[in-house]
């Protein structure tokens, strides 16, 4: 059974905050409301699930003939990775979610994101090396254009060129020469 200790919060309201004591099996019974610890745990579990999905997809792709022939090593690997994924999914599921509603929230959390990741990574693993090479070249060209244009035409660079380091705020007067809109 978990122990909860009341400690004064350093905020101005000096509200009381429930602090969970550390235990060896604390991850099996997370607190009822989200906090930084649960956020960190879910982040680690999410990264672990992506690594496991990649391992499962590579195994499925490379050992497809062995799986068709029901060779023990391939079946065991697929079962281990699948079990780990289900276990990670369960651990993510028991953690509390933020009660505040955002403008968009993913439905069927955490099943749908994990399933989407599994499908997309499996399709990516199926691509040929030549496709990955073309993708890398086009990404490099796109990044060079993006950052080259952005650095050359940034507002910060224009400020430095004009040697005007005034930052426009609501309470200060503005110098209209600092920020100019370009019309196309």
Residue 13, pLDDT score: 36
Cβ 44 vs Cβ 106: under 8 Å: no
Q: Are residues 140 and 116 in the same domain?
A: no
How many structural domains does the chain have?
Answer: 2
Task: Calculate helix-pair angle for 111-125, 72-94, nearest 10 degrees.
Answer: 150
Q: Pick 28 or 56 by higher pLDDT.
A: 56
Cβ 60 vs Cβ 126: under 8 Å: no
Q: Are residues 38 and 112 in the same domain?
A: yes
Cβ 60 vs Cβ 67: under 8 Å: yes
Q: What angle do CA 55, 115, 122 make, to 5 degrees?
A: 45
Within-domain flag for 12? no
Q: Are residues 136 and 114 in the same domain?
A: no
Within-domain flag for 162? yes
Answering whether pTM is above 0.85, one says: no
Q: Return d(Cα 82, Cα 53) in angstroms, integer.
A: 8
Q: Are residues 122 and 40 in the same domain?
A: yes
Q: Are residues 173 and 147 in the same domain?
A: yes
Closest listed residue to residue 115, CA positions, set 74, 85, 81, 80:
85
Residue 77, pLDDT score: 95
Within-domain flag for 28? no
Residue 165, pLDDT score: 53
Within-domain flag for 68? yes
Q: What distance, in Å, lies between the first and last C-alpha atoms of the chain?
A: 67
CB neighbours of 166 closer than 8 A, spacing ≥ 6? 172, 175, 178
Helix extents (H) in 70-126: 72-94, 111-125
Q: Pick 123 or 29 by higher pLDDT.
A: 123
Rank 28-32, 90-94, 177-181 by mean pLDDT and report only the highest. 90-94
Q: Are residues 49 and 113 in the same domain?
A: yes
Full domain range(s) for residue 159: 129-184
Q: Are residues 110 and 136 in the same domain?
A: no
Within-domain flag for 1? no
Q: Pick 27 or 87 by higher pLDDT.
A: 87
Cβ 34 vs Cβ 96: under 8 Å: yes
pLDDT in tens, 1-10: 444 443 444 4
Q: Are residues 135 and 147 in the same domain?
A: yes
Q: Are residues 51 and 90 in the same domain?
A: yes
Q: Is the pLDDT of residue 32 over 90?
A: no
């Amino acid at each position: 059974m978990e122990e909860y200790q009341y400690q004064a919060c350093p905020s101005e309201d000096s509200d009381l905050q429930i602090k969970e004591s550390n235990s060896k099996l604390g991850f099996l019974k997370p607190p009822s409301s989200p906090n930084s610890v649960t956020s960190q745990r879910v982040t680690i579990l999410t990264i672990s699930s992506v690594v496991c999905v990649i391992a499962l997809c590579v195994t499925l792709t490379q050992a497809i003939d062995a799986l068709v022939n029901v060779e023990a090593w391939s079946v065991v690997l697929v079962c281990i990775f699948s079990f780990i994924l289900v276990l990670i999914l369960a651990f993510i599921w028991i953690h509390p979610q933020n009660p505040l509603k955002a403008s968009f929230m993913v439905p069927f959390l955490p099943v749908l994101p994990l399933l989407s990741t599994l499908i997309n990574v499996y399709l990516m693993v199926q691509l040929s090396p030549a496709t990955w090479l073309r993708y890398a070249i086009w990404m490099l060209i796109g990044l060079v254009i993006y950052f080259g244009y952005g650095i050359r035409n940034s507002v910060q660079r224009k400020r430095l060129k004009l040697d005007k380091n005034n930052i426009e705020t609501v309470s200060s007067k503005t110098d209209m020469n600092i920020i100019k809109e370009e019309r196309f």
